[in-house]
Amino acid sequence: MSQIGMQMPGGGRRSASMNIYTGLLALAVVALATACVFVYVQAGKIGKGGDPFTLQDPKSPDVGLAAKGR
């Protein structure tokens, strides 16, 4: 970036500023955070032992429904 700025005619260093892309990036970060939250919650529901990062046994999946009083 600074190299791109340095190659521009007039040769002067300008300060970075927030633009539309920053906003879109912020929006993306918010969306990602929201998605992470939703996926975390749902993955916790179907994860083994309530852990969203643990894989279930395909032959005998355990989603804790009996513990919840299904």
Binding site for other proteins (CB under 8 A): 1, 16-18, 21-22, 25-26, 28-29, 32-33, 35-36, 39-40, 42-43, 46-48, 52-58, 60-61, 63
Residue number with CB closer to other proteins (12 or 16): 16
As measured in angstroms, the least distance from the Cβ of 27 to other proteins is: 10
Residues in the chain: 70
Q: Give residue 32's identity as a one-letter amino acid code.
A: L
Quickly list H helices, 1-70. 2-6, 20-46
Task: Give the residue among 32, 33, 53, 34 at the shortest CA–CA distance from 43.
Answer: 53
Residue number with CB closer to other proteins (7 or 53): 53
